[in-house]
Amino acid sequence: MLMLAASAGFSAVQAQEANAVVIKNFMFSPMAITVKTGATVTWKNLDGEPHTVVNDAGLFRSAALDQNETFQYKFDKPGIYKIFCGIHPNMRATITVQ
């Protein structure tokens, strides 16, 4: 039973990592991900410069994220969400929610 609990915890960690986007070298990585409806995506800024996470349809906008800070958003509806950095608009990514 302990093994089952441990493996369930491991799966939850893997799932969380699968919904993670790293901001590094003035890029979102990965630049495109697909998640399930109801999933929460976490962005983490690893650059020494601040960045924001902005949805082009205006659904959400993070505050400026300094190095090692994170932002999360839960995607409740299926669709294709275009993301960019409000400070560096050439930084773009796509989140597909199924």
Per-residue pLDDT at 42 exceeds 60? yes
Question: What CA–CA distance (Å, rounded) separates 98 from 76?
Answer: 10
How far out from the chain centre does Cα 68 lie? 13
* Per-residue pLDDT, 18: 76
52-69 pLDDT tens trace = 999 999 999 999 999 999
pLDDT, the chain, mean: 88
Per-residue pLDDT at 14 exceeds 90? no
Assigned token pair, 57: 């349809």
Assigned token pair, 25: 């070298």
- Which CATH class name applies to 2-97? mainly beta
Per-residue pLDDT at 24 exceeds 60? yes
pTM: 0.82
Q: Is 30 left (phi over 0), alpha (psi -120 to 50) or beta?
A: beta
Per-residue pLDDT at 4 exceeds 70? no
Helices (DSSP H) in 2-94: which residue ranges? 2-18
Q: Where are the domains of the chain?
A: 2-97
